[in-house]
Amino acid sequence: MQTFYSLIAIALVGLLALSLHRGTKGLQQRMIVNEVATQLSGVAVETLERIGQEPFDAKTDTTKVSKFPAVTDPSQLTNAADFGGCFDFELCEDIDDFDGLIIVRDYETLRFTVTIGVRYVLEDQPDIPSAGPTYAKEVSVSVANPRMWFFDPSNKLTVTMSRVFTYQKATKA
């Protein structure tokens, strides 16, 4: 009978150790996911800041403004159908060139896939897309780490941020 009780005690200690190990493993996984999510956010913010350093539009580029008359009407800006066309993040010349660009960025020790979208939005209601050119462009950046799926295959751990850039030097006729 003592042997039986000893076996039950050993089984209970084993189950307790296994349960403790599972809890610790889960905590460590959540810590890793939180750290990667923080890095995803950092990549998104840095990407938006870098895009914001470019001119609002090719026709508002102060280094080339002598080629174009001053923009006094949004219809003079690039049509949304002509957004994109830049294949190298570092060679894009204005905000709308980044539209549709997919890049891979290394941040600290991880590699991230960044997808960028640009669209015109209403100036007074920047959450509503505009049918035509306006003095406001929304840039959306989605950052993903394709290697993080092993924690939860249904959730690819993606962070999406957006920012609205406006053309401040515009004068309406």
Which range (46-55, 120-129, 149-158) has the least confidence?
149-158
Q: Is 82 helix (H, G, I), strand (E, B) or coil?
A: helix
Please give the Cα distance from 35 to 31 (Å, whole number). Answer: 6
User: What is the arithmetic mean of pLDDT over 24-43?
Assistant: 80
Query: Which of 95, 10, 11 shows the shortest CA–CA distance to 57?
Result: 95
Residue 133 CB neighbour total at 10 angstroms: 19
Q: What Rg value do the Cα atoms of the chain yield, rounded? A: 25
- pTM here is 0.77
Asked if pLDDT for residue 65 goes beyond 60, the answer is: no
The pLDDT tens digits of the residues spanning 125-154 come to 989 999 899 999 999 999 987 666 555 666
Regarding predicted confidence, which is higher, 123 or 170? 123
Mean pLDDT of the chain: 83
Question: Which residue would you say has higher pLDDT here, 5 or 57?
Answer: 57
